[in-house]
Structure 1
Amino acid sequence: MDNKTQKSKIFKWPNNDMGQEDDYVATEAPLEIRLGHSKDEFNTLAISMCSPSEVNELVYGYLFTENIINTSSDVVEINVFDNDLGLISEVLLDRSVNYQKFINKRYGMVHASCGICGKTDFDDLLTFNYPARKRTEGGIEPQIILSLPDKLKLKQRAFMQTGGLHASALFSDTGKLLCINEDVGRHNALDKLIGTALRKDMLPLRKHIILLSGRVSFELVHKALMAGVNTLCAIGAPSSLSIEIAQVNGLQLYGFSKANGFNRYTGKSHHV
C-alpha cells in the first residue's frame, strides 16, 4: 500500500443527467506507530489516519515534532508492513531515546484533520520551550511570497486528481521549490516535509519558507517552530492561537497567500 490515490466508481450528475464513471479519490488508511528499543517488544505510540505513502518521512517528522527524537540517528530502523486493517510502523530507537514517557500521553486515535487529538496535557504545548532560532531582520521580499502559491499548485499532482489532499512545500528564502509532500491530513503533510528535511540533515530551516495549502492551526505553527523555520505561509487563514504563538516566538506568519496579494499577521507593519 503506497499510493495517494485510487480509482472509485462514482455517480455523476452533470446537466441533469445521471451517469456512472471512474474517478480518482484520495487513499486514506490507519497507521499504527510502535516504538521500541528491541525487535522483541514494541509499544503503541499513536494511530493516525493518513495517506499510505512516504510513511518513513511521516514517522521521522512526527517523532521529531513531538520532541521524541532530536536527530535522524536516534532512529535505528523502521519497518512498515500491511495488516488487514492498515499499516503498522515498527520504529527501533536508539537506547538513549527515552520514549516511554510519551506512550501514555499520546496513545489514542490521531485523526487526519486534527494532530492535537490524543494529547492529554495541553499545557505542555502552551508552555513549550522551542529550540533556539536565529531571528531574521525584516522579511521576505513581497514578490517571493506572491510567487509561491502557483509554484505549489503546479506540483500538487495528487490534489489535481482528487481534490482531496493537503500539501506542504519547502522553499529556499529566494523562492526556489525544494520539496513538496501531500497527505489527507494537514499535520501529516507537514510532518512528512519535516521528516524529509530531517533525513537530509537540513534542520533547522532558518533560511527557508514553508507554504501550507490550507489553513494554519496552532499545531502547524508548533511544528514549524520545531523545524526552526522563520517564515510560514498558507493559502488559508491562521487561527487566533496560531497568530499568538507565532508572534511570541518571532515567526513570520502569512495567510491568504495568492499571486496578487497576502496577509501578514506577525512582525512590524512596515516590513513585509
Structure 2
Amino acid sequence: MSHTRRRPGSTVRVRVREVDGTQVRYRDDVVATEEPLEIRVAWPGQPPRSLVVTMRTPGSDFELAAGFLRSEGLLQSPDQVVRIAYCTDPTLSSEQLYNVVTVDLAAPLVNPPAARYAAATAACGVCGKESLDELELRGCQPVLAGPVVDAAMLCALPDRLRAAQDVFSRTGGLHAAGLFSPDGELLCAREDIGRHNAVDKVVGWAFLDGRLPLSGCVLVTSGRAGYEIGQKALAAGIPLVAAVGAPSSLAVDLAERFGMTLVGFLRGERFVTYTHPERIESPRQSTPASETIAELS
C-alpha cells in the first residue's frame, strides 16, 4: 500500500462567509486541526495493542502518548520506554498515517491497561468520587511542600502563557498548559484542542526528560480545571495548579486530599484559592495614612 500522506499540521486553511451587520464578505481563515490519535503499547512478546483514541491537535504526539501513560499510572520511569514512533503497520490507510503512535516498552506493564480505555474526546475525563480512592490505590501520594510563590508573579503567568500560544493567536481555538518555575520562568508550553491533552504534552515532555516529580513548579492552564487536570498534575508531582477558568467540585476534592494548591479565575490581578493557600504569599496591603497617623499620635 502506498503511503503518501503528509504529516498533518496544527492548523487548516478554510474558506468562510463572514457577516458583520449588513456587510457580507468571503475570505480565507485558519482553524485549529482536530484529528484522532490512537495510542498503542507493545513490549517483548506482546504485539502492539490499542490503548486509547483521543481527539487532539497534531504536534508533540510522542509527548502526549508518554504523558497519558504516566498520568494513568502505567509508567513510572522513562527507562521503561524503548522508543516512541508513528506506527508503520502496512494495513493502515493513508488517512491513518501520523495518527497512530506506538510506545515500545522494555518490559510488560505491571498493571496492564483495563477495558475502560476505549475512546476519549477532547473534553473527556474520569467521573465519580470513587476516582479519588482509585488514585490512592494506584499509589499516588500527596505532593511535596513545594515553593511559596508571590501573588503578583502568579497573576502575570496567564499573559506569559498566552504570549507562547502561537497557534491560538492564529486560530483562537486552542487550549494551553504552561509549566513555570517559582520565579515565573516559562519552562514548557504546549497547545491542544483538548485542555487535558495540553497537560499530557507538558507532563510527557517532563517525563521523557527525566524531570519528574515537578515538585518545584507551577502549572497554569487555560479554561476550567476539572478532575482530569488535577489527576495529571498529581501524577507529575506538581504542587500548585492555576486555571484561568473555574474548577470543578471533584478537582477541589482531589487537590484537598492530596495536598495541592488549586487556584481558579486567575485573571488580571484577581484569583481565587480553593485549597492549601499557604503556597501563595499574600500581597502586601498598604496601610491607610489615617491609620499611620493614629498609630504615631
Other-structure match for 2:122: 112
Alignment TM-score, normalising by the size of structure 1: 0.91
Other-structure match for 2:84: 78
Work out the CA distance in 2 between the residues paired with 1:39 and 1:90: 15
Q: 1:255 to 1:124 in 2, by over 3 A?
A: closer
CA contact (8 A) 1:216 1:234 kept: yes
Alpha-carbon offset, residue 197 of structure 1: 0.8
Q: 1:124 to 1:237 in 2, by over 3 A?
A: closer
Other-structure match for 2:175: 166
Q: Deviations over 1:220-269 (max 9, x none)?
A: 10111110011100100101111111011110111111222111111258
Work out the CA distance in 2 between the residues paired with 1:92 and 1:127: 26
Other-structure match for 1:24: 30
Work out the CA distance in 1 between the residues paired with 2:142 and 2:240: 15
CA contact (8 A) 2:151 2:281 kept: no
Q: Secondary structure at the match of 1:144?
A: helix
Other-structure match for 1:263: 272
Alpha-carbon offset, residue 105 of structure 1: 2.8
For structure 1, the 5+ residue unaligned runs are: none
Other-structure match for 1:90: 102
Q: Percent identity?
A: 33
Q: Secondary structure at the match of 1:43?
A: strand
Structure possessing the higher radius of gyration over alpha carbons? 2
Q: Deviations over 1:114-170 (max 9, x none)?
A: 1338xxx97354431213532247x42111111101101111111111111110000
Other-structure match for 1:133: 143
Other-structure match for 2:4: none
Work out the CA distance in 1 between the residues paired with 2:142 and 2:273: 23
1:239 maps to 2:251 = no
Work out the CA distance in 1 between the residues paired with 2:234 and 2:43: 28
Q: Secondary structure at the match of 2:49?
A: strand
CA contact (8 A) 1:39 1:92 kept: no
Work out the CA distance in 2 between the residues paired with 1:76 and 1:122: 35
CA RMSD of aligned residues (A): 2.1
CA contact (8 A) 2:129 2:250 kept: no
Work out the CA distance in 2 between the residues paired with 1:263 and 1:226: 23
Q: 1:197 to 1:242 in 2, by over 3 A?
A: same
Work out the CA distance in 2 between the residues paired with 1:122 and 1:262: 26
CA contact (8 A) 1:110 1:116 kept: no
Work out the CA distance in 1 between the residues paired with 2:101 and 2:93: 11
Q: Number of paired residues?
A: 266
CA contact (8 A) 2:203 2:236 kept: yes
